[in-house]
Structure 1
């Protein structure tokens, strides 16, 4: 029994370290720049307005307070997005679509399993969380959260700020933004999210001459370039970090982002 537990812990630890690579799914790499139509995210905005609360460095979700009616509305919103083929829209509209869909599904998963201590408790026996599970079908394709993040968002837009946009329902994660993403506000929200995270202790903690970074910068190091590139990225949003040097340690809090 002890050997089984050890093997399981080893598997989980490897899974955490071996974060998914950016791997383009060509089917989704298509857009229509001439289409000026927009996708409504008002239902998602209404949910955020009702159930997010700021607490220090954290933006928390009042999962326990979500009404049955609002759970149904969230499900309906996600269902409405599943009926849209995002490839028919502009690239900017698509980005907002995928980020909002990812975050809404994540909240839905937590609500469906609530009460729960951590999103990592979801998934099968040998799963670390629900990210590889099929969660939605769009344009005839079954998608997991990993597909949305690592096969669509990361490889198509090649923007490291995406890591500040998608939320994994954990305290260590960049905060779930209080505004739904739209084609018009995406740049502003990405910069806001980056600045907020990098200036928080969960993003970058300086203590007694030591530097502790979020594990995001370790798991997805390729997205931020070499060490110099990472420091430049961090300093863009927190200038005092321009002189960072030496070794970094990494930390991440998987406790649920709940109020």
Structure 2
């Protein structure tokens, strides 16, 4: 079965990247690798990614050769840069596997992992100099840095067609996931994501943002009501 899956992916790869000039960025192979190796709960089969690494590496290289232009739609840009961020995190894990956490890798946030349009990029570069400047706070619920406390890795690729629906859906899922945020009558304990990026959420009005999506509304957030971040690997065992 694994051999069959690899053959199918190889055929998809040859079809996807036979033409460099494209009206949109093709994430078909990333979509298929994710579908095979990531569970619906976002748990990752890292040995599976390593098995498919030659396909992953070709997809990763394609991202440096095919990228949005200034005239590309916002949807195209969001899908591309979010996929690239998640792919960089994946690359660092499988290149250093086995590791217990992305923080076991030397300076993972600053490593220049890919060059796009002549500019080298790290995870921090993509998040802080590109995505956060797009005035779309919901990106924080799609970016996955291979940790248990980060938003779960979707087992599909983001595309220009699905990105806006995904931003809405993943925001709702993250905020109402009891493993990420505890919001009850008795207790409010929310993700550190909201503290780290508080200025991105409606000019710092985190309560207002959360209440857009939370099944249970909150009135305020007190100091100390942030969950300890679990940096351990989001691995399926």
The TM tier, using the shorter chain, reads 0.7 to 0.9
Number of aligned pairs? 214
Question: In the alignment, which of 110, 115, 119 is matched to residue 141 of structure 1?
Answer: 119
Change (3 A) 1:184 1:39: same
The separation in 2 between residues aligned to 1:200 and 1:42, in whole angstroms, is 28
Match of 2:81 in 1: 98
Change (3 A) 1:164 1:183: same
Normalising by structure 2, what TM-score?
0.84
Does the 8 A contact of 1:211 with 1:248 survive in 2?
A: no
2:50 matched to 1:83?
Answer: no
Change (3 A) 1:154 1:204: same
1:11-30 equivalence runs, <5 A: none
The separation in 2 between residues aligned to 1:85 and 1:38, in whole angstroms, is 8
Alpha-carbon deviation of 1:39? 1.1
Cα-Cα RMSD: 2.0
Change (3 A) 1:242 1:51: same
Change (3 A) 1:85 1:50: closer
The separation in 2 between residues aligned to 1:145 and 1:217, in whole angstroms, is 19
1:83-232 equivalence runs, <5 A: 83-88=65-70, 89-123=72-106, 127=107, 130-155=108-133, 157-206=134-183, 209-225=186-202, 229-232=205-208
| Secondary structure in 2 matching 1:137 | strand
1:33-52 equivalence runs, <5 A: 37-52=23-38
- Stretch of structure 1 that moved more, 93-102 or 241-250: 241-250
Alpha-carbon deviation of 1:67? 4.8
| Secondary structure in 1 matching 2:190 | strand
Q: Which has the higher strand share?
A: 1
Change (3 A) 1:245 1:219: closer
The separation in 2 between residues aligned to 1:207 and 1:183, in whole angstroms, is 35
Match of 1:241 in 2: 217
Does the 8 A contact of 1:45 with 1:180 survive in 2?
A: yes
For structure 1, list consecutive stretches of 5 or more residues without a partner in the other structure: 1-35
CA deviations on 1:7-47 (whole Å, 9 max, x unpaired) are xxxxxxxxxxxxxxxxxxxxxxxxxxxxx921110010011
Match of 2:7 in 1: none
| Secondary structure in 2 matching 1:147 | helix
Change (3 A) 1:85 1:38: closer
The separation in 2 between residues aligned to 1:85 and 1:99, in whole angstroms, is 12
Alpha-carbon deviation of 1:231? 1.2
Normalising by structure 1, what TM-score?
0.77
